A = this chain, B = another copy of it.
Amino acid sequence: MSGNTIGVLFKVTTWGESHGPAVGAVIDGCPPRIDISETDIQAELDRRRPGGLLSASPRREADRVEILSGVFEGKTTGTPISLMIRNADAESAAYEELRNLFRPGHGDITYQAKYGIRDHRGGGRASGRETAGRVAAGAVARKIIGRAGMAVTAFTRELGGIVAGGEFSAETAENPLRCPDPEAGKRMIARLEEARATGDTLGGIVEIRVRGCPPGLGEPVFGKIDGDLAGALMGIGTVKGVEIGAGFAAARMTGSACNDTIGPEGFRTNNAGGILAGITSGAEIVIRVACKPIPSIARPQETIDIWGNPAVVTIKGRHDAAVIPRIIPVCEAMVSIVLADHLLRQRAIAG
């Protein structure tokens, strides 16, 4: 991973700022002859779109993806796939008062420190809007790994401190919060409404499962599949923690409890989360990511301006009360991209 590109063979580069002309992604290394259409990609993009019951984002993102290259008569050609999504509704003027202020919890201060310049409008490159390019590219990755039998599914495991029990099911997919536990889901919605009423925001935990992953994906030391997955997920703006299988709970287990014994029928437990020594074992991959609360809160916050003077910033406009559920397709996209890359890498040596 370097800069804005991820992957060795299936390489995704995203570009674009929140309030620039467009955001997008270029996929280099997609195998040829895979059916892909703008409709396929649009379906994924629509999942991260603001709007609906839970969202308060005022921005009407049309988010219409355009395939600019690499697909011919409905099939990939093996050449780079360029995907573009125009930024339809850029209320840049609303951000003018943030030009010289650093919003707490945002990248304003670090971008300024790094580059000495920044597009302050809506977070610029650090905006959640950048993830549209990831999701678009993830839709292509999903096709590749789908052909190999893999299915990536993420859902809400925790929100605002409320833990959801249960496992993902068809019903979960239709739940607006993508929560597998209807009772917990109701409480999560109440908590969200309460947070919004007080001008505050909530964090949560997303759980990601991969079914059907073949054994053998991942590389020995610095390209371990768990390392690459953790790197990709921690690289989502909101994520502050990643754990695999038993995760942090493994730190409190004994070896005899944590080891997954093996029988002819397979692993008898899955504390490893489907990965041993950095390589997939064929068991289900299980990952959880901790999402911090959205830093754009409606309350005044103490901060400084770019000259170091104390200031108070109040973020205007309506923002989501939690990054969940909109972050869920982003998590799925990142996992799909990493798996697609490793699937191709494994094919190279398995000949």
Contacts and interface: CB of A to CB of B under 8 A. Distances in A.
Interface string A195-230: 100011111110000000001111111111011111
A126 B279 CA distance: 10
A44 interface: no
Contacts of A199: 256
The oligomer's copy count stands at 4
Contact of A293 (B81, B224, B250): B250
A221 B240 contact: no
A308 interface: yes
Nearest to A125: B79
A161 interface: yes
A58 interface: no
Interface in A1-47: 1-6, 8-9, 11-17, 20-24, 26, 28-29, 31-33
A292 B250 contact: yes
A13 B66 CA distance: 18
23 contacts: A2-B223, A5-B13, A5-B28, A13-B13, A32-B116, A32-B349, A72-B124, A104-B259, A114-B215, A125-B220, A130-B220, A202-B255, A204-B251, A224-B234, A226-B234, A230-B231, A231-B232, A240-B243, A240-B248, A240-B273, A248-B290, A255-B295, A261-B301
Contacts of A348: 9, 31, 344-345, 347-348
A90 interface: no
A109 B274 CA distance: 12
